Structure 1
Amino acid sequence: MLSTVSRQLKSHPALVPLFIFIGGGMCMSGAYLVRLAMGPHVSWNRNGNPEPWNKTAPTQQHKGGSRVRVAAEVSTEEGNRFL
């Protein structure tokens, strides 16, 4: 099969960019799928830890940019509003 492809590329040099871009697109899409499959929200082990997202720390950054505020910070900010 590779010999057929190499003969085609030698006889039609205009196909070289096509092969480069198609090959690059395949590599990038494969890398993106691997990135999606290894995220923290994906559970591959159903028996050991079926819901790993329930075991996150309160101060851990989550999707969406949520930020946990400490109660002391909230009370001082509210107290400073009236000063």
Structure 2
Amino acid sequence: MIGRMIEQARKHPALIPQFAFLIIGMGGAFLYLVRLAKGPHVSWNHKGNPEPWNQVSPTYQYKFVAIETDYKNLKKEGPDF
């Protein structure tokens, strides 16, 4: 597949930016999936830590972009389990 892309780019140089944006987009999507897989709501170790979201501090910013919420001033709203 990569060889075919290089062959097409040599024949049609105008396709080079399209291939570059395609590769950058695929790389960004992969990195975003890796970031989501490491979040506090994902449990990869069901025997050692079945509920990792209970150990997250209330000041942990779990959203990618928090426009109105200031996570530094939040207080915990529930009991410890």
Quickly name the TM-score band, shorter chain normalised: 0.5 to 0.7
Percent identity between the two aligned chains: 46
The more displaced of 46-55 and 21-30 is 46-55
- Any runs of at least 4 consecutive aligned residues in structure 1 with deviations exceeding 6 A, and if so which? none
**For the structure 1 residues 4 and 67, does the alpha-carbon distance in structure 2 shift closer, same or farther, using more than 3 Å as the test?**
closer
Aligned to 2:18: 18
TM-score normalised to the size of structure 2? Answer: 0.67
Residues in 1 aligned to 2:40 and 2:54: alpha-carbon distance in whole angstroms: 11
CA RMSD after TM alignment:
2.3
Structure with greater Cα Rg: 1
- With CA pairs under 8 Å and 6+ residues apart, which has the higher RCO, 1 or 2? 2
Q: Secondary structure at the match of 2:26?
A: helix
Count of aligned pairs: 67
Alignment-derived partner of residue 38 in structure 2: 38
Cα shift at 1:2: 3.4
More helix by share: 1
Q: Structure 1 unaligned runs (5+)?
A: 70-83
What is the TM-score with the length of structure 1 in the denominator?
Answer: 0.65
Distance in 1, Cα, partners of 2:28 & 2:3: 25
CA distance in 2, matches of 1:20, 1:45: 37
Matched, 1:67 2:74: yes
Query: How far is the alpha carbon of 1:48 from its aligned partner?
Result: 1.2
Does residue 7 (structure 1) correspond to residue 14 (structure 2)? The answer is: no
User: How many Å apart are 1:41 and its aligned residue?
Assistant: 2.0
- The alpha-carbon deviation at position 55 of structure 1 amounts to 3.0
